[in-house]
Each structure stands twice: as C-alpha cells, then as structure tokens.
Structure 1
C-alpha cells in the first residue's frame, strides 16, 4: 500500500477516496469494531465540502440534505433579526444531514473503490518512521507504508504522543446537551432558531436545527454539573415544542474544546481533522475544516508519492492547514467569548449588545468558509488582484491568488469539475494552449490541462463572472485554489507559477 489512513470518520473516508482517485493504494484503520451510526454529530456541511464529495461520486449528501431558508435569532422572548443564505450556484450553500448518513454514503463509495481496504478493530498503539516509510503497530500487528495520514479524531493521544506533538488549548467548563428528535413542527421545518437567554434556559442559549426526515437537532448550553435524567430531557424538550408529539432518537452531553496540534506534519506523517484541531461547533467549522485538510494532504501526498513533486511539498501542508486551523480557532474563540463569557466584563458586553439589539455585534457563530492561501509559499501574488479580506457574513470573496475558484455553472456542468485531475490553466483569450502545455510539461510530469475560457464557455459569461481579461492566465491547483492570476502571461511566467506551486523552484 502507498498510504495508511488512521481513522474511518468522514475526514479519513474523504482522504481515502481522494488518494485512491490519485492512483494510490490505501489502507484505512479504525479502532472501533464496526461503524457506529448513532447520532447526528456533525450535521452542517458547507458548499465547498459538498462540491468535493460530489466530485468523488457522492452527490447524495447534497441531494438528501436539508437547506433551511431562514435563520432566526431571539433574545429572551423577542426576535432580534432573521436572515437567509445566498443560494446562488449549482450547489446549495450548505445542507443539514446527520454524520451517520454521510458516513453511510461515503462507505458506499469506498466499497466501490478497489484501491481502498478498511480494517476495523485496529487501534494504533505505536508509530515509528525512518527514511523509507512508517511502521504502524496495532497491538501485535505490524503494518508499514511510505506515508501515514492520521485522521483518528480528538482522542488520538497515542498517535500525537508517538510523534512528539502537543495538543494545546482549553476546554470550556459549561456542558452542552444535544438531542435528536423526530416531530411534526409546522413552520419549523425550514428555520434554524438560536435563542439567547430564553426563560426556559436562563443565562444560556439554545440552538435548533431542522434535519431531513422530519428530525430536529437541539443543543442546550447547560451548567457544568448537569447530569440529565429522562424526565429532565423530556421537560427541556417540552419547554421548546409544547405538547407536540415527538420521538427522542439520540442524546449526548459533552464539553467544547479549543485545541490545536503543535505540528500537522512530522516527517512522513500528516495529521488532519479533529486529530489536529478542535473548535467549538458554532459556525460548523469542525468537519468543514477537516475535509479541506484531507484534500490538501491527499494531492500533496499523491504528487510526492508519484514523483511529480519533491518531498518538500509536504511541509506546505503544515504551513497552509495549520494557518487555517489557527484562523478557525480565532473565529470560534471570539464566538465562545460571546456565547460563554468567562469574565464579568465579557458578560456585561454581551448583555449590552443583546439589550441594544445591536445586530452587527451579535455573534452566534460565523459560518464555515474556505481558508484562503493568500500568504502561502505556493501562491504567486499579483498586485492587480489583491485579496479583499474576509467578506461580510454570507458574501463571497472576489477571485484572487490563494482564493478557491468559484463554483460556477458552465455548459458542461460545473467549473470545478475541471479542477481536480491535476493543474488547470485557464487562458483569457485564444492562445497556443499546446505550447503552454508543452513548456510546463518540461518541468513536471504532473497532470495538467490547458483550457481557453472561450472554449469552456463560449458565451463569455464565465470570463465576465470571473473578471478575467484578455492576456491573463489563471493557474488553478488540484484542490481548486487559485495559485496565480498572471496578466500578459506567457508560457515562462505560467511555468514559473506551476514550479512555485510544486516547490520545484
């Protein structure tokens, strides 16, 4: 095998499918005896994650998931504001769907892939590496591969310890009760509701999400010493839904964590998902950052393993995804300071914001968005295309080097359908595309496609939407991020951008 993936959750499943698509043989290990399909867990999947899963032959997550239309925020018994997502694009902005169902759909795709083998009941107890590969021990069983991608979740203590990686951060004292219920609640089926300080949970908050099949996910912030009985849970649910009939499907109580691994790459081992970073769930930045970890790791592992790039490329996995994790920690830490204020000053600030109904200052979790690799060593900056900074909530960022390519409809399907088989070079006018491909091919044998925008979309709509101008060349990475936008581009400047993106120069 070429890569051992530790962990068969959604991040590990995604990584295995991506590595197999790149032509690598993958062994997936999981310590559990079998798949556990209980509970909604990570329910909210962002558009770019749905795009990636669709490209892997799993469009059902987007098709089966539910996209609510309205988000309502309340303070005590008063509605502060409501808003809706921009639903433009070939895929919904997000869907709600249980993690259990997502895992089932990814499992089905894995079962169709002969390059992937999954072994359950394989708890990793030791891990060592040398110049040629990595040795993984599961009790008395010894396995070996050139590379390992650890997606083993937050409790992967043995893996991090074996690598000498710390997992620094904090755990919040307050606990959170989660319940999945099935109920017919007219008017609630397409609304997400967030309650600050309701009379039935004073001083804390409650979040309610609709999910497919007439189910709802309810999250209560509860005191640190809260240990619910069946009657406690029934009372809490009744306080919200009244006398409507309901079925309790699943429940759990847990703490929120804010932690990050000191390193996400140690030699031939990469760490991804909850194994590398933990964030509070408000804003859905957990799984929605773990899946981009998997994609970033997979194309780089494949390019190194297949001889298309030097091993130095792997270090940029740590550079890029550690920066992404730090940003997610920053955003969610600000949210938690508002939701769970730890000082009297923070509590006063929250009361003041809510009492004033200061809509722009209410922080119930900025929704997950892709990380933009504008400062990455793989990105070629361009003064005429500066990064515009973090956009307003719900808005998209204009295309620029480091930003993910917009997922736009084209006559053949979606623009990103062209992106994930290697490097994509988009030319802004009729050029000698064969010459571009020939010259870039002299520096790397990595997969490469050169397309003219007029060829991709002869109407001119695509070029207009991107803001592409004649003479430009757009270099797009295998994970659909823009590596360079080059004005007055020639084959040499395009070749230089590709070389930079592969750490060839």
Structure 2
C-alpha cells in the first residue's frame, strides 16, 4: 500500500475507434466506492471501464474509520488482512464533559467475529490497496486523466463524452455508475439536485504527527477545558498520526482557520505541548442530503454522489462501500441475463432506506453536538448531567452513533416468515461466526461470501442447497456460535444473499423452499 502514487495518462484503443465503443459498465470516479465496485464486478467475470479525472490517489487522510461490515466486504475481495495489519484496531471509546469522564463504550463486546469493530486507516492507504488490486485485475480498464465531459441518458444505455489530454472521445455504456463524489458532475449533467440540510457550524480537522501515550480509543469531549464551549474528538491513525476534530463557530473563516499559526495554538492547548507536526488541515461544514432516487434510467448513483452525511459516526465512506456491495451482485445478475433489470429497483429502495437512516443518525448527532435552539441546549445539558449517574441517560448523549449496516426490513427480495422467535429476521445483516476449522485454521462464515453466491445455512444444507449456492452446516457442538446467532434448530435453514443480508429462513426447510427464496432474492418471483 504505497500512498501518493501518480499514474501516467495512457491512450485507450477506444479513442481511435471509428464509432463509440460500447461497454457493459462504465464507472465514473476512482475513489474507494468506485474502485470497490470495479473490483467486485470483475470478480463476477464482468469487464469494467473505470474513469477518473485525476492522475493520482487523493492526498490527505480524509476518511479514516472503517467499520467491521466494510472490512468484511474488503475481506471478500482479498484486501482486509493487509488493511487490518496496517491500520489501528479499536472497539472502545470514552466520552468526556470538560475534563471529567461521562462513560465508556465497547462496540464489539462479544467475540466470534473475524474482523474487528473498527480500524483507523488513512483513506489514501485504502485507495492504494484498492488500486493495486484493480491494476492486477485484467477485467478492469482503469483510465486516469479521463474526465466525464458529457452524459446523455438513453433508454438502452448512456452516451458519454470523455475529455483527455489528447482531446475528447465518445463511449456508450449499458450501465453507468456514478461514484464521482459530493460534487458529482454526473449528477449535474442530469440536472439532479440533493434534498436535505446544510448545517451552519464549522469543524476543523487536523492530522498531527507525534509520539503520544493515549490509548487506541475514540475520545470525544463536550466543552473541554482546552476548547471552551465547543467539542473535540481524538483518534489514533497509523504512522504516529492523530486525527483531531475541533468545533468552530458558524461564522469562522475557513481560510483563516486553516493557517498553521492559527491551528497550532489550538492543538497546543489541547495537548499541553508543541512537540508535533501538522500533516493535513481542513475545515468543513456538515451536510445531510441525498438524491430522491439513486437509479435514473441507465445511470446509477452511489456513495457521496448519491448521499452526504456528517463525518461524526463514520457513515460516509462506510455507507458508500456498502452501497456498491448491495449493487454489485444485482448488476451482475442483470448483465448476465439471469435477472430482470427491475431487480435494480431494490438497490434504490434498500440503499435509499440506508441513506435515510444514516442521515437521521447524522442529523441527530449534529443537533446534539451543535445545538441550535434553547430546547436542544436544555436537553443536551440534562443528558450530559445525568449520564455519569444513570446508565439509561447515556443513550441520549450523542457524539456520533457509529456506523452499522442497515437492515432491509421491508425488502421485496425477502421471503416473509411466521412464528420464528430469535435469530436474525429477513433483511437483517448477517453476523459472522467461526466454522469448523480446516487443517487447524479457523474458517469463518464471512469467508463463504467470497464466492459471491447465495448461502444456505442449516443442518442438511448440502441436501437443501441448489446448484449455484453455497452450503454451510453448523457443528455438532451444543454451544455452536453459528447455530446460536441464527436461532437454528434441527431442520431449520437460513438463506443469505450474496451481500450477506438474510433473505429467508424456514422451519423444516425443503429444497423447494430454498429455490423459491432464491428466485425471489434474484428478482424472478412473480
């Protein structure tokens, strides 16, 4: 994972074609979301053209917190091990008021998961790992210094104009996926607008390099003594770099606040010393907005191009990567002729629900961190006063609800069940569990998803699972974690989608039940 690489522009054969060349999928934007989708589709044997207007991996840490579910997606693509090794693993945090501790939390108190609750890893390292994997993938054509300059959305695909150092050329795509960020040119070219809210308060991000004795935990302060009346956040990153967020006033001048002579005294007050180097500084405002629809004809939006949230809670990059985890297998089935194009409507509904959930959590966190009305300030003061005295009050203290995968409770791809108590209902995200060891090495349920196919879990799964699926059987151990987490009794079966969400569960399952559930989850149910 070598950061800050620059990539030479290379002329494509498409630029010399007499007529526009048609490709099944073109992805705009080689950030974490676009790179993840390109790699996912290639692993499903689909060729992809990925364009980006830059010639390098983005500079600055930007996103740093990558959640367990995102790591499971990266693990499916063969990338998580190196990321976890390089990253700073954490699962605990502390919340302070002034210099007094309010409470502590643990994001993964129960074992039996392959991936940690979170790692902190600078975004440029994540992008570097993804780029290396994409460059080694013959089915991905990654084109740097290729800028989307024109887009026409047609009934049978998208017509694109691409600008390069050698001039413009044209492409056609059966499907265009716009992963081109918060300022998405694709969105502008289709005349689409975000709806939502932009918050007034500004926040300073500073990455500082220093030796420090702080533990690898998330520390958040309300009204700290070093930054009176505001809030602050501290996180450890690799390479002795620490992320510091400091709340500013709404009328703060971003250019003024980013000047080193302004930033350094603030951080010196926080740390109590000046023995650090500034690595990266930025000032931002919260925005919680989304497109009304993520699917527009043959153009699909994902990541920040589809929705934006505040960074508190680590819901930006994580939700974007989970967008394309939802989209990849569906788009592959459509392009392979195994499912109707209507299957993609479920991407819009499911990830739209996830976006609404993330925006709600993000808005609530912002309202608590930076209350705007007397009522909000009164509520916050009461919650902060009660939190160290009464555990129930800790639920009302909001320093950013950290990223969790959404449940697709009303998904049209789920098969409803009745009379089942316990376990995970249809639409719920899967929970990892250890499987019987092979050659002395622990295997994991999450590793089964690497095959990119539906998974059938249960005693006798090998008999129940039809061709094209993967069977997983619990062990005979009475305390088997897999059996316990899925509420499995003898004769039961659970069907997981390729993205790990529960599609169906059956008491006394039959092969016909499983086939019916897979037809539904792949969009073929009548």
Q: TM-score, normalised by structure 1?
A: 0.91
- In the aligned structure 2, how far is the partner of 1:479 from the partner of 1:2? 22
- Are positions 1:500 and 2:520 aligned together? yes
Q: How many Å apart are 1:194 and its aligned residue? A: 0.7
| Cα shift readout 1:224-251 (whole Å, capped 9, x = no counterpart) | 3232232211101101111251111111
Tell me if the contact between 1:34 and 1:121 (Cα under 8 Å) persists in the aligned partners: no
Q: How many Å apart are 1:56 and its aligned residue? A: 0.6
Structure-to-structure mapping, 1:441-480, within 5 angstroms: 447-449=468-470, 451-454=471-474, 457=475, 459=477, 461=480, 462-480=482-500
Q: Which of 123, 130, 148 matches 1:106?
A: 130
Structure 2 portions without partners, runs of 5+: 1-22, 388-392
- Residue matched to 2:183: 155
| Cα shift readout 1:1-57 (whole Å, capped 9, x = no counterpart) | 321111111011100100100111111111223222x22111000011111111111
Q: How many Å apart are 1:100 and its aligned residue? A: 0.9
Q: How many Å apart are 1:346 and its aligned residue? A: 0.9
- Residue matched to 2:390: none
Q: How many Å apart are 1:162 and its aligned residue? A: 3.1
- Are positions 1:338 and 2:368 aligned together? yes
- In the aligned structure 1, how far is the partner of 2:512 from the partner of 2:343? 21
| Cα shift readout 1:280-334 (whole Å, capped 9, x = no counterpart) | 1111111111011011111111000011111110111101100110111111111
- In the aligned structure 2, how far is the partner of 1:436 from the partner of 1:58? 28
Tell me if the contact between 2:114 and 2:432 (Cα under 8 Å) persists in the aligned partners: yes
- Residue matched to 1:376: 411
Structure-to-structure mapping, 1:77-96, within 5 angstroms: 77-86=99-108, 88=111, 89-96=113-120
| Counterpart secondary structure, 1:24 | coil
- Residue matched to 2:210: 183
- Residue matched to 2:428: 403
Q: How many Å apart are 1:492 and its aligned residue? A: 2.0
| Counterpart secondary structure, 1:245 | coil
- Residue matched to 1:119: 143
- Residue matched to 2:15: none
Structure-to-structure mapping, 1:473-488, within 5 angstroms: 473-488=493-508
Q: How many residues align?
A: 480
- Residue matched to 1:131: 155
Structure-to-structure mapping, 1:278-297, within 5 angstroms: 278-297=308-327
- In the aligned structure 2, how far is the partner of 1:414 from the partner of 1:260? 35
- Are positions 1:63 and 2:63 aligned together? no
Tell me if the contact between 2:91 and 2:118 (Cα under 8 Å) persists in the aligned partners: no
- Are positions 1:322 and 2:352 aligned together? yes
Q: How many Å apart are 1:432 and its aligned residue? A: 6.7
- What's the Cα RMSD here? 1.9
- In the aligned structure 2, how far is the partner of 1:430 from the partner of 1:321? 33
- Residue matched to 1:174: 201
Q: Which of 128, 139, 145 matches 2:173?
A: 145
Change (3 A) 1:194 1:225: same
Structure 1 portions without partners, runs of 5+: 389-397, 442-446
Tell me if the contact between 1:183 and 1:244 (Cα under 8 Å) persists in the aligned partners: no
Change (3 A) 1:427 1:282: closer
- In the aligned structure 2, how far is the partner of 1:69 from the partner of 1:190? 9
- In the aligned structure 2, how far is the partner of 1:452 from the partner of 1:180? 44
Tell me if the contact between 1:14 and 1:106 (Cα under 8 Å) persists in the aligned partners: yes
- Are positions 1:34 and 2:61 aligned together? no
Q: TM-score, normalised by structure 2?
A: 0.87
